[in-house]
Amino acid sequence: MTTLEESGAATALPLIDILRLRGPAADRAEFLGELRRAAHDAGFFCVDRHNILNELDRDDVLRVFAEFAAEHVRG
- Counting the structural domains of the chain, the total is 1
Q: Are 31 and 24 in contact (CB under 8 A)?
A: no
For 9-65, the pLDDT digits (tens) are 555 789 999 888 888 988 889 999 999 999 999 888 888 887 776 666 777 878 888
For residue 29, give its domain range: 2-72
Partners of 47 in beta bridges: 16
- In sign, the C-alpha dihedral spanning 35, 1, 50, 63 is positive
- In sign, the C-alpha dihedral spanning 1, 10, 47, 51 is negative
